[in-house]
Amino acid sequence: MIIAEKKAVYHVMSRSALDGFPLKDIEKDFMVDLIKRFSALYFTEILGFCLMGNHFHLLVKMIPQNRFTDEQIQKRFETYYGDSRGFAEGQIPYLREKLSSLSEFMREIKVGFARFYNRRHNRRGYFWGDRFK
């Protein structure tokens, strides 16, 4: 259950669809970097995490969209993307919803990691099993 109107803490986890323990030290380091990168973009606070050989856990506080200003949205966008993507005022409603979404935050982490893993191991297809829990 997601609580949209006030700050809430969630314990989320996701398991690999691959057999064995595909998350080695290099993969875990990349995952930590992804978590740091996306937690700087999204309105989140990472309270804890655990990376295992075939799954991970995050304890994350989500900050609801009514708790941050348009200027904070623009600053996070520009800090994350730099000058490579122009910021437009019309994006604010979309970004306000996206950057406060636990589902979007987890999607970015999981997709980013799957792309990295597949490139590194010269493979295609799914890395993660079911949706995060």
Residue 132 placed within a domain: no
Range of the domain at 84: 8-120
Contacts (Cβ under 8 Å, ≥6 apart) of 49: 32, 35, 56, 57, 58, 59
Which pLDDT tens digit goes with each residue over 64-88?
888 889 989 988 988 888 865 777 8
Q: Is residue 108 part of a domain?
A: yes
Residue 23 inside a domain? The answer is yes
pLDDT digits (tens, 9 = 90+) for 83-113: 657 778 888 999 999 999 999 999 999 999 9
Contacts of 124 (CB under 8 A, 6+ apart): 118
pTM for the complete prediction? 0.87
Looking at the structure of the chain, the number of domains it has is: 1
Please indicate, yes or no, if residue 130 is contained in any of the structural domains. no
Q: What is the CATH number of the domain that holds 74?
A: 3.30.70
Q: Are 61 and 67 in contact (CB under 8 A)?
A: no
- Residue 73 is assigned to a structural domain of this protein: yes
Q: How many residues does the chain have?
A: 133
